[in-house]
Amino acid sequence: MSKNLSIVMCLMMAGMFIAGCSDDKETSSFSKVGDVSNSSCLRESRAEGVWGNPILTLKRVGNNLYCQLTDYVVNCAHGEIQVGCKEDGQTLNINLDEGLGEIMANCLCPINVSFTIFDALQDQYQLMLNGRALGYISFKDHQVMSIDLNTLAVAYEEGFQYPLRLNSFSVLGAGSAPTGEDAGLLVELHNHREVKQMECLIKNYHLPEAYSFLDATIEADEQGCMVINILTDGIMREDGDSRATLYLVIVNCEDKPAYRLRVLQTTGKKDAEGHFTGERTETLYEGSINVDD
């Protein structure tokens, strides 16, 4: 009797062990992430524009996913961005760590981040970023896709172009007016095709007097012309001799050898809530300009 009871107990324990192994089997794993890099702050934080338009772009290259995250908002005191990725069934969860130290800055700013997820073998995923569900993505019919993190709209590479957007604007090298052949307004475009980003230098710009703000907007008109509009509340004087170089970083640029470009300047006022109302617009430059690499 005792012998039979011992056999039954052993069989029960073996059955529990086998069942336990089956139930506890891991279905998730941490994916290898590499080639992580990030920019510094793209522009000084401004209350009305710091949030920007963050875009996550994923490109299938063999078994890997090359990822770019543009206009991603972090604390101004961020360090080197760390990226982790966990694959759980068909769920791919990407997590970013800002690398903050003990002290945080009292401001936010957008940055660009790029990284590669290795051995992402599935053709379709439920994608998550920092625990936020971004939706269903599939690489069965497309190799490149972009996700607008504000609207969660998904766009594929065929025939899609995000609107031109200004990432940063600054005034460089204010000084007296030049003389000679280079005294007029000069415009240069330098393309960074790998990130669909372009630098624009507007040289010999005639600075207004007594201005409290100087800003810019950018858009493409119906004919595809790039239109830069400089906004200011300053006073424009023909006899003023203060000149500067305006430096703009433009994103979502098409890969073209030349652009038709129009540079406008609108003077006006801002109300108490910071909304700008234009009163007078003039054309500073118009023509076709080659793009340098």
Q: pLDDT-based confidence at 45, cuts 50/70/90?
A: low
Count of residues making up the chain: 293
pLDDT digits (tens, 9 = 90+) for 202-243: 999 989 888 888 999 988 877 778 999 999 999 877 666 788
Q: For residues 152 and 238, is the Cβ–Cβ distance under 8 A?
A: no
Domain boundaries along the sequence of the chain: 28-156, 165-292
The pLDDT-based confidence of 26 (bands split at 50, 70, 90) is: very low
- Residue 85 confidence (pLDDT): 92
**Smallest Cα–Cα separation from 105: which of 65, 146, 74, 81?**
74
- Residues 54-84 have pLDDT tens digits of 889 998 888 889 899 988 888 888 888 899 9
Give the per-residue pLDDT at 14.
Answer: 42
How far is it, in rounded angstroms, from Cα 156 to Cα 168? 26
Residue 243 phi/psi, 5-degree rounding, is -125, 160
Q: Which helix (H) or strand (E) holds 8?
A: helix 2-23
Residue 289: which H helix or E strand, with range? Answer: strand 276-292
Of the listed ranges 24-28, 85-89, 281-285, the one predicted with least confidence: 24-28
What is the share, in percent, of the chain residues with pLDDT greater than 70? 79
* Separation of alpha carbons 145 and 157, rounded Å: 6
Token look-up 């791919």 returns 92
DSSP conformational letter for 49: T
pLDDT mean across residues, the chain: 79
**Cβ distance 186 to 198 under 8 Å?**
no
Grade residue 22 by pLDDT with cuts at 50, 70 and 90.
very low
* pLDDT tens, position by position, 268-280: 998 877 788 889 9
Please give the full DSSP string across 180-219, using - where no structure is assigned. SGGGS-EEEEEEEGGGTEEEEEEEEEEPPBS-S-EEEEEE
Separation in Å, CA 223 to CA 253, 259, 265, 289: 15, 11, 20, 16
The pLDDT value recorded for residue 163 is: 64
How large a percentage of the chain has pLDDT more than 90? 23
